[in-house]
Amino acid sequence: MRHLLSSADLTRDDVRMLLATAAEMHEVQRRDVKKLPTLRGRTVINLFFEDSTRTRSSFEIAGKWMSADTINITGKGSSTSKGESLRDTVMTIDAMSVDCVVIRHMASGAAHQVAQWVDASVVNAGDGTHEHPTQALLDAYTMEQRLGSLEGRRVAIVGDLTHSRVFRSNAITLRRLGAEVTLVAPPTLMPSGIGPWAAADGLTLTDDLDAVLAAGPDAVMMLRVQKERMSGGFFPTPREYTVGFGLTRERLRALVDANPEAVICHPGPMNRGLEISADAADAAQSLVLDQVSAGVAVRMAVLYHLLAGEEVAA
**Judgement on whether residues 180 and 284 belong to the same structural domain of the protein:** yes
Q: Are residues 173 and 122 in the same domain?
A: no
pLDDT for 312 equals 39
Query: CA-based diameter of the chain, in Å?
Result: 58
> Vertex 98, ends 80 and 95: CA angle to 5°?
60
Say if residue 199 is in the same domain as residue 266: yes
In a domain, 277, yes or no: yes
Backbone angles phi, psi at 221, to 5 degrees: -105, 115
* Across 283-311, average pLDDT: 92
Is 46 inside a domain boundary?
Answer: yes
Please, which residues have CB within 8 angstroms of residue 165's CB and are 6 or more apart in sequence? Answer: 108, 126, 127, 128, 129, 130, 131, 132, 135
In-domain check, residue 180: yes
29: exposed, middle or buried (Cβ count in 10 Å: 0-12, 13-18, 19+):
middle
**Dihedral sign from CA coordinates of 150, 156, 158, 164:** positive
Tell me: do 269 and 231 sit in the same domain: yes
Which pLDDT belongs to residue 93?
Answer: 97
* Nearest 10 degrees: Cα torsion 276, 280, 282, 284: -150
CA angle, 124 as apex, 137 and 135 as ends, to 5°? 25
Angle (CA) 132 137 140, round 5°: 125
Q: Kindly state whether residues 223 and 209 are assigned to the same domain.
A: yes
Residues 158 and 178 in one domain: yes
Q: Is 116 annotated to bind ligand?
A: no
Same domain? 192 vs 212: yes
Does 90 lie in the same domain as 24? yes
- Whether 196 maps to a domain, the answer reads yes
Residue 275 lies in a domain: yes
The CATH number linked to 266 is 3.40.50.1370
224 is in an annotated binding site: yes
Q: What is the pLDDT of residue 107?
A: 96
The predicted pLDDT at position 234 comes to 79
Half-sphere exposure of 181 (CA within 13 A, CB side): 25
Residue 230: what pLDDT?
54
Question: For 150-198, how does the pLDDT look when each residue is reduced to its tens digit (9 = 90+)?
Answer: 999 999 999 999 999 999 999 999 999 999 999 999 999 999 999 999 9
Q: Per-residue pLDDT for 314 more than 60?
A: no
Q: Are residues 298 and 206 in the same domain?
A: no
Question: Is residue 55 annotated as involved in ligand binding?
Answer: yes
Q: What are the backbone dihedrals phi and psi of residue 33, each rounded to the nearest 5 degrees, phi first?
A: -105, 105
Q: Is 305 annotated among the ligand-binding residues?
A: no
pLDDT recorded at residue 232: 64
268 marked ligand binding residue:
yes
Indicate whether 12 and 106 sit together in one domain: yes
Residue 313: which pLDDT band, with cuts at 50, 70 and 90? very low
Same domain flag for 71 and 158: no
Residue range of the domain that includes 26: 7-131+294-313
Residue 104 annotated as binding site: yes
Does pTM surpass 0.75? yes
Q: How many domains does the chain have?
A: 2
Residue 227 is assigned to a ligand binding site: no
- Is 132 annotated among the ligand-binding residues? yes
In a domain, 2, yes or no: no
Q: Is residue 194 part of a domain?
A: yes
Query: Are 204 and 281 within one domain?
Result: yes
Adjacent-strand bridge partners of 182:
156, 204
Please check whether residue 215 lies inside any domain of the structure. Answer: yes
Asked if residue 70 lies in contact with residue 44, where contact means CB atoms within 8 angstroms, the answer is: yes
